Structure 1
Amino acid sequence: MYALTRALQHEVGLTALSDNFGTGTLSALTAIGNIGPSTSNANIANIANIYNIVVGGLYCKGYNGDNGNLDGTWTTTTTAAVTSLQSDIGVPTTGTVSPKVFKALLTMDAYILIGTGTGPVREVQRWMNATYIDKSWFYIIPADGSYSRDVQEALVYAIQDELGVAGANGNYGPGTRAAVAAQPNITVGSSDAAGHYWVRLFQAALRFNTYDASFTGTFTSADSSIVLSFQAFCLLTVNGQGDYETWSSLLVSNGDPTRNGRAADCASEVTAARASALVADGRVVVGRYLTNVEGSTLNKKIQTGELSVILGAGLRVFPIFQTLGDSLSYFSDAQGYSDAGDAVQAATGYGFKRGTTIYFAVDVDVLGDDIPGSIIPYFQGVNRAMQRFGNLYHVGAYGTRNVCRQLTDADLIQYSFVAGMSYGYSGNLGFTLPSNWAFDQISTITVGSGTGAIEIDNDIYSGRDTGQASVNALPSGEVLDVAFDMSQEASLASDMDAYCDTVTSNTIGLIHGSPTDVVGDVLQHDTLITNLSRAWGIRKALIQAVSFWEYWKTTALDPAADAVVESTYVYLEALEAWEANPIGVAPTPPVVMSQDSSTGFAQIFSATAIWAHNWALGQGLISGSTWDASDWHTVWAVWQDLHGDDDYNLSAVPQVLMAGAADVGITGSPRLDYTSAQITSILARYNGTGSAAADYGQEVRGVYNVFEQYNAALRG
């Protein structure tokens, strides 16, 4: 198409060639007139080349332009193809190519229903093409059934034309807003008349927002019912009429920005005076940031004691996570995984309860085609990390309508916090509100006065996410564990080495090196283990102790046992395939078979992980579905994850510890204040039951003590 555009510019005498079919190209064509069978060399120097450009464009659009000849002649086949194109566009079928039709021919727009397009939207698009083709401001829009930025801009232009707005430009600005607000409400019985299309344009706007009203130019009771549904979904005044507020929400993402929302988000501390001002302004929930941006001087995170002030004032709160997130290059799977860990660490520190939704910010205008390659992977990383932490928190997104819709469709977020205030973003123009929207940010305002004054983003509140009315309080005197100070690694390793010299169980044939080496291996996973401890509300040393011990005590017998399991499942899969299609000889089973082994960093049996998972699920500590331990496919799938993914393996450790604690009668788990005897019993149960397990618990308790000495000092 770009090549054809440049060729056309050359043929009409333009010297500054470009891929863009702009006003210069259109003016040159207008001077020539319509292109068709009667166009001669008197009109243009080389009409044969122009014909070939028309035919080339038709081919690119999927129309047969001249039966494959491309010989510079205009045939009846060419006329038929042009007529078919015009019919699809919705304009008069003259069989000749006007300048605007030529422009449409050389775009990448479609004029047939494609993809997720709908017939009702396409009907509006074809009507607009037919109605406004002769207007100087109008260029042919797609007729593909899809609402897009260009279609939205054409609709606003049509409204500006209808109302005689000076300086019409396709933007829903102050002049257009004022003109729309001055119009009487559209009510049942309102009709178009005398060449005016006010009602029909309102019906078009409804269809573009997926509310398929009639398209007759007469507003019916059925149309009013449809408007009622739209108004209720957007939290507008529900009156079933075409009023300014409804027009605005149909046309731009921030709708009527003067609406007073019941929610707010802000980068400033909510003091007692500010909380009172928010309550007086009708706010019920406020969004606050979990962290500051590294390297920034802006202190926007929740301050010490602030949550007590917010909650004490009767407000609820929802957490937002944003470091940078303001450029496309920031977003990746790895970044999402890392950010989720930081968010969990911060949220647990503030005491946010299980099931809280954290909104991860995409504070950049991402083009639609870039979302699958950047934003989707980022949120896949966020979700993978959250699964590691037992789905302690739900994942939400702050971003444009398109970002939120694509993440919702990919089942990566629970709720959307829509950046509707950025109405000029490409991700908001031509996109409707996502079905799971919780908050819709429409303007920045100041609430209160004096010491109570606070600048907020004014958010419409749907009630889908009510925010949190309380947070967890830690046991008296208890503090969550924090990241390890790596400058103390050598000291920790030395102490661990000294303790391990005292153990009486086997230390022969260990394959992972000395205790000093294994301490380093455990600390490589410190971020994960820290977050696991905070997510589960248990001491970090519990996870460190069994992970260290099992990794240190690995011998050559362990990978040998793993190899037997792998060969067993290779056989079982081959047998299953053969039984489904029994051609040839059945596969031969291995000499030694086993469907399970203790495997991975913390040496966990698949059956143990399944048991612990189902226990945690039953306690409401994790979400998901029950795993069937009697199905070898399930056992094999879990075993492979335990064997091949250290993060997955370590993430199973808290579940095994807590299920074990419950199994030996230690109630109220998980918690931070287990007694010494309880800690020893929990560690013993990790290894099983009986005297051998008891001995295991005593020895691993020594490892716990070494780790806990350092952890306790760091948490203060």
Structure 2
Amino acid sequence: VGIYATRNACSRVSDAGLSTASFVSNMSMGYSGNLGFPMPSDWAIDQIKTINVGSGSGLIEIDNDISSGRESGQKSYNPVPAKEDLDVAFDQTWADELTKDIQTYFDSIGIPEEGPPDSWPWPGKTKYTTSYCVKFMLSWDTLFTSLARMLKMRKALIQTSAIWELRHFNITNIEDLSVPKVNDNFSDACVYDYHNDGVLPDWVTEWGNKLTTLDDCSTGVGQIFGRRAIKARNHAIDLGLLDEAKRDATKDADVWAVWEKLHFNQSYNISTVPFMHILHAMEKGMARPGLTTSEADTEKLLQYYQGDTAEAAQQAKLRMGMYRIIEDKYQSVFRKYL
């Protein structure tokens, strides 16, 4: 354990047995701890002077340090491959194969390439095809990968939740529905109307006078509520995973600020998905999702993303099929060989 400080601070910390070597900021005479105090007995590096190196636009200022021999410094660096089994980028040469695998699986569970799942209890249609959703997922692979590596969780968990929701985005004509809110565009329009006092873009005004009072709804790629996103991101801030100001889910202004980002900013929405999983794990008394999360717990996390209901539990079993394709056939192989 080392310390970088003045002579006095280094000596006191060393004498207390809390350090084994000192890097002394000796040239900083503005520190009172350097005035009249001896060098610490365990000094390893002594910062003695600032010098200039180079000239013209290449001129830089560096510190000139001396060594007691206790620490010889680093002369070479040979990186050792990480042993944490972190996810890596998707090999895009396998994009067509992945698309076919997911299309085949979705067909097998009643979700055709186009249109809604056969199991839906209402007539309607979805906005995006299966192949479009896979292409979208791969176009954001850099973000999915960085989130998985930063948070040390499986990329397939983040991808499955986001892309499953995107594939189920409903755009059924509200005239054909007894419950208009199943149309995701309509719900978004109602929230936009609520927070903007009638100043509306074209995609909202097309609904005419059919809009209802709705201050929040699931929106964007991962279909996330504004209030739940606030809770999830605040929890991530508390864990030191996010560096941003907290929001208040009881304030309309904060709900709108977050909902607007979730709706219009795809990167923000995707980046919120793993924090939703971390929040759900905390709320349900589960371990935080990680690199060794079991299949049983992964299925639970996929369930809680949709809700704690029998229907969500059944949907989670279907989502696990997509998860296994991405994780078992592709990402686990890429981690081993790429």
- TM above 0.5, yes or no, is yes
Report what 1:599 is aligned to: 219
Choose which of 13, 34, 44 in structure 2 pairs with 1:282: 44
1:516 aligns with 2:278: no
Gap change, CA 1:495 and 1:447, over 3 Å in 2 = farther
Gap change, CA 1:591 and 1:530, over 3 Å in 2 = closer
Report what 2:270 is aligned to: 650
For 1:214-233, list aligned pairs within 5 A: 231-233=29-31
Report what 2:87 is aligned to: 481
Q: Structure 1: which amino acid aligns with 2:88?
A: V
Gap change, CA 1:236 and 1:572, over 3 Å in 2 = farther
Q: 1:677 deviation in Å?
A: 0.8
Choose which of 563, 566, 590 in structure 1 pairs with 2:189: 563
Q: 1:509 deviation in Å?
A: 1.3
1:683 aligns with 2:302: yes
Counterparts of 1:520 and 1:634, CA distance in 2:
33
Report what 1:694 is aligned to: 313
Output one character per residue of 1:620-654: Cα deviation in whole Å (capped at 9) or x when no partner: 43344432111000000001100111110001001
Bigger-Rg structure (1/2)? 1
Counterparts of 1:607 and 1:590, CA distance in 2:
24
Q: Percent identity?
A: 29
1:640 aligns with 2:257: no
**SS of residue in 2 equivalent to 1:604:** coil
Q: Which has the higher contact order (CA 8 A, sep 6+)?
A: 2
Uncovered stretches (5+) of structure 1, i.e. residues with no partner: 1-227, 241-261, 263-279, 285-418, 430-439, 457-472, 575-588
Gap change, CA 1:671 and 1:281, over 3 Å in 2 = same
Gap change, CA 1:427 and 1:566, over 3 Å in 2 = farther
Q: 1:543 deviation in Å?
A: 0.5
Q: Give the conservation status (yes or no) of the 8 Å contact 1:447–1:455.
A: no
Output one character per residue of 1:438-495: Cα deviation in whole Å (capped at 9) or x when no partner: xx832499997xxx78659xxxxxxxxxxxxxxxx96xxx500001100011111111
Gap change, CA 1:572 and 1:536, over 3 Å in 2 = farther
Counterparts of 1:590 and 1:443, CA distance in 2:
73
Report what 2:11 is aligned to: none
Counterparts of 2:169 and 2:51, CA distance in 1:
55
Output one character per residue of 1:349-403: Cα deviation in whole Å (capped at 9) or x when no partner: xxxxxxxxxxxxxxxxxxxxxxxxxxxxxxxxxxxxxxxxxxxxxxxxxxxxxxx
Choose which of 610, 618, 631 in structure 1 pairs with 2:251: 631
Gap change, CA 1:564 and 1:714, over 3 Å in 2 = same
Report what 2:62 is aligned to: 441
Choose which of 516, 531, 534 in structure 1 pairs with 2:146: 531
Uncovered stretches (5+) of structure 2, i.e. residues with no partner: 1-25, 77-81, 118-123, 172-182, 201-208
Choose which of 697, 701, 707 in structure 1 pairs with 2:326: 707
Counterparts of 1:454 and 1:695, CA distance in 2:
56
Q: Give the conservation status (yes or no) of the 8 Å contact 1:596–1:607.
A: yes
Report what 1:672 is aligned to: 291
Q: Give the conservation status (yes or no) of the 8 Å contact 1:606–1:639.
A: yes
RMSD of the TM alignment (CA)?
3.7
Counterparts of 1:666 and 1:690, CA distance in 2:
17
Counterparts of 1:552 and 1:422, CA distance in 2:
58
Q: Give the conservation status (yes or no) of the 8 Å contact 1:538–1:671.
A: yes
**SS of residue in 1 equivalent to 2:44:** coil
Output one character per residue of 1:484-541: Cα deviation in whole Å (capped at 9) or x when no partner: 100011111111111111224742512112x222111001110111010011110000
**SS of residue in 1 equivalent to 2:126:** coil
Gap change, CA 1:534 and 1:420, over 3 Å in 2 = farther
**SS of residue in 1 equivalent to 2:29:** helix
1:545 aligns with 2:160: yes
Q: How many residues align?
A: 269
Counterparts of 2:51 and 2:274, CA distance in 1:
41
**SS of residue in 1 equivalent to 2:218:** coil
Q: Give the conservation status (yes or no) of the 8 Å contact 2:219–2:262.
A: yes
Q: Give the conservation status (yes or no) of the 8 Å contact 2:45–2:68.
A: no
Q: 1:697 deviation in Å?
A: 1.1
Gap change, CA 1:679 and 1:617, over 3 Å in 2 = same
Gap change, CA 1:420 and 1:634, over 3 Å in 2 = farther
Choose which of 92, 97, 103 in structure 2 pairs with 1:491: 97
**SS of residue in 2 equivalent to 1:647:** helix
Gap change, CA 1:283 and 1:231, over 3 Å in 2 = closer
Counterparts of 1:282 and 1:236, CA distance in 2:
18
TM-score between the two structures when normalised by the length of structure 2:
0.69
Q: Structure 2: which amino acid aligns with 1:673?
A: T
Q: Give the conservation status (yes or no) of the 8 Å contact 1:571–1:590.
A: no
Q: 1:611 deviation in Å?
A: 1.6
Report what 1:610 is aligned to: 230
Q: Structure 2: which amino acid aligns with 1:713?
A: V
Q: Give the conservation status (yes or no) of the 8 Å contact 1:568–1:590.
A: no
Counterparts of 1:501 and 1:453, CA distance in 2:
61
Gap change, CA 1:643 and 1:454, over 3 Å in 2 = closer
